[in-house]
């Protein structure tokens, strides 16, 4: 029996080694998937943010079919912001307070330092955020597609009082707002 285990272990190690040496890794598939789909991450422990991520990704997938937008979940807001910080994901829905803390490098984000977040779209007490180097073109498309967002029942996303956002608008969201304002004469 000991010999069988050794043979199985050697075989498994040989297969794993051959796979690694040929350059096959699950990371390539992840990069390809990420390039093809606009993933919107939200914290699992924030039911409202998760619901928003589902609704926003479905709306973006409908209005911007090339986005193939999908919702994703992180354990908590800190993890969601870390996925942005490390460029593993590009979009997140977080509470305004958490976005402010991440932007300033305070609160639970104090030990990691400030994150250069930018707001792409507001949703009551939540923001859709990206890093400042996120594509202006994509941010503008997203801001336009999500303008006037409502829940299926027609309600506006709101939950009590909402703190003031200290996170600046993304340049793409600003471009959308300026184009909309010039058309409406505001």
Residue 138 lies in a domain: yes
User: Rounded to an integer, what distance in angstroms lies between the CA atom of residue 121 and that of residue 146?
Assistant: 7
Q: What are phi and psi of 52, to 5 degrees?
A: -65, -45
Provide CB contacts within 8 A for 94, sequence distance 6+.
42, 43, 46, 49, 77, 80, 81, 102, 126, 127, 129
Largest CA distance in the chain: 82
Whether residue 101 is found in the same domain as residue 138: yes
User: Rounded to an integer, what distance in angstroms lies between the CA atom of residue 154 and that of residue 145?
Assistant: 16
User: Rounded to an integer, what distance in angstroms lies between the CA atom of residue 41 and that of residue 129?
Assistant: 10
Provide CB contacts within 8 A for 54, sequence distance 6+.
71
**Quick check: helix, strand or coil at residue 163?**
coil
Sign, CA dihedral 7-9-14-15, equals: positive
Whether residue 41 is found in the same domain as residue 79: yes
Whether residue 90 is found in the same domain as residue 116: yes
Residue 31 lies in a domain: no
Whether residue 69 is found in the same domain as residue 120: yes
pLDDT at residue 163, rounded to an integer: 78
Question: Strand pairing partners for 126?
Answer: 95, 123
Report the 3 state secondary structure along 11-27.
HHHHHHHHHHHCCCCHH
Whether residue 21 is found in the same domain as residue 54: no
Radius of gyration from C-alpha coordinates of the chain: 21
Whether residue 63 is found in the same domain as residue 2: no
> Which tokens hold the place of 126?
């939540």
Residue 32 lies in a domain: no
Q: How many structural domains comprise the chain? A: 2
We report the CATH number of the domain holding residue 138 as: 3.40.190.10
The per-residue pLDDT for range 51-80, each reduced to its tens digit, is 999 999 999 999 999 989 999 999 999 999
Domain span holding position 122: 37-184
pLDDT at residue 15, rounded to an integer: 60
User: Is the distance from CB of 148 to CB of 125 less than 8 angstroms?
Assistant: no
Whether residue 7 is found in the same domain as residue 89: no
Whether residue 22 is found in the same domain as residue 49: no
What are the residue ranges in the chain where pLDDT is below 70? 1-35, 152-162, 185-186
Q: What are phi and psi of 156, to 5 degrees?
A: -90, 140
User: Is the distance from CB of 74 to CB of 43 less than 8 angstroms?
Assistant: yes
Whether residue 90 is found in the same domain as residue 160: yes
Whether residue 20 is found in the same domain as residue 71: no
Whether residue 143 is found in the same domain as residue 63: yes
């Amino acid at each position: 029996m000991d010999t069988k285990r050794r043979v199985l272990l050697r075989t498994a190690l040989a297969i794993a080694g051959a796979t690694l040496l040929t350059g096959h890794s699950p990371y390539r598939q992840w990069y390809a998937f990420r390039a093809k789909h606009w993933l919107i991450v939200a914290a699992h422990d924030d039911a409202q943010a998760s619901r928003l991520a589902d609704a926003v990704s479905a709306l973006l997938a409908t209005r911007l079919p090339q986005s193939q937008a999908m919702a994703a979940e992180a354990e908590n807001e800190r993890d969601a912001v870390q996925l942005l910080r490390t460029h593993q994901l590009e979009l997140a829905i977080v509470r305004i307070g958490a976005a402010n803390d991440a932007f300033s490098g305070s609160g639970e984000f104090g030990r990691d330092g400030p994150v250069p977040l930018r707001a792409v779209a507001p949703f009551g007490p939540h923001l859709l955020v990206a890093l400042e180097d996120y594509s202006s073109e994509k941010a503008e498309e997203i801001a336009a597609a999500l303008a006037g967002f409502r829940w299926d029942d027609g309600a506006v996303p709101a939950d009590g009082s909402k703190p003031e956002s200290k996170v600046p608008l993304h340049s793409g969201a600003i471009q959308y707002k300026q184009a909309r304002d010039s058309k409406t004469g505001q």
